Amino acid sequence: MTQEEIDAAEIIEETPEPTADEIIAGLQSEVTDLKDRLLRAVAETANVRRRAEKDKTDASAYAVTAFARDMLNVGDNMRRALDSQPEEVSEDMKAFTEGVVMTERELLNTMERHGIKKIEPEVGEKFDHKVHQAMFEAPSEDYAPGRVMQVVAPGFTIKSRLLRPAMVGVAKGEAKKVDTTA
């Protein structure tokens, strides 16, 4: 036997055997660690399952968003066509006009059945950046600053999300003169 082998054998002989209490404490520590890891894995699995369910629900609810945005353009064009007609419509055009009105109404009703609701701001109401988009600002003596003074196009929501903000003109206050002589 070489000297290294003899030294290694002596180290092994000098290492005391663990006592039963030490073995039990080590096993309890390992069990505690494994329980903690198991609970974390179960919680992570539950979180992944919840996220997947929410993603599935959102995908189902909002799958038609792009299509709905495209249909808003169709509705806008129908409204523009109706707004551009003269006040006095000849008899032969009344049926056509009524057909366009009924088609627009049916489009809006169908969109509403699918969770798409129209946002119709009132002239004079306070501008809300969450549902309005300011298309322009103009000074106004009739409306307080920050109030809607003209509705350019209505907005729409799909379920609880904004599909398109209402496009509005907003009253602007006069610029205050700053005293620069001080």
What pLDDT, in 10s, does the model give residues 72-82?
999 999 999 89
Pair 101, 76 in one domain: yes
In a domain, 23, yes or no: yes
Structural domain count, the chain: 3
Residue 3 domain flag: no
The reply to whether 1 falls in a domain is: no
Query: Quick check: pTM over 0.75?
Result: no
Does pLDDT of 93 surpass 90?
A: no
CB-based contacts of 140, cutoff 8 Å, min separation 6: 147, 149, 171, 172
**Three-state secondary structure string covering the chain:** CCHHHHHHHHHHHHCCCCCHHHHHHHHHHHHHHHHHHHHHHHHHHHHHHHHHHHHHHHHHHHCCHHHHHHHHHHHHHHHHHHHHCCCCCCHHHHHHHHHHHHHHHHHHHHHHHCCEEEECCCCCCECCCCCEEEEEEEECCCCCCCEEEEEEECEEEECCEEEECEEEEEEECCCCCCCCCC
Domain range enclosing 96: 64-114
Q: What are phi and psi of 73, to 5 degrees?
A: -65, -40
Co-location of 68 and 56 in the same domain: no
pLDDT tens profile 125-134: 999 999 999 9
pLDDT of the residue at 35: 95
Any domain includes 8: no
Which of 108, 130, 119, 128 minimizes the C-alpha distance to 170? 128
Q: Is 167 in the same domain as 122?
A: yes
Domain membership of residue 101 (yes or no) is yes
pLDDT of residue 6 exceeding 80, the answer is: no
Do 57 and 87 belong to one domain?
Answer: no
Does any domain span residue 44?
Answer: yes
**CATH number of the domain to which 155 belongs:** 2.30.22.10
Task: Report the alpha-carbon distance of residue 15 to residue 126 in Å, rounded.
Answer: 82
Domain presence at residue 2: no
Residues 84 and 57 in one domain: no
Separation of alpha carbons 104 and 93, rounded Å: 17
Asked whether residue 14 carries a pLDDT value surpassing 80, the answer given is no
**Token code pair at residue 42:** 């179960």
Same domain? For 123 and 100 the reply is no
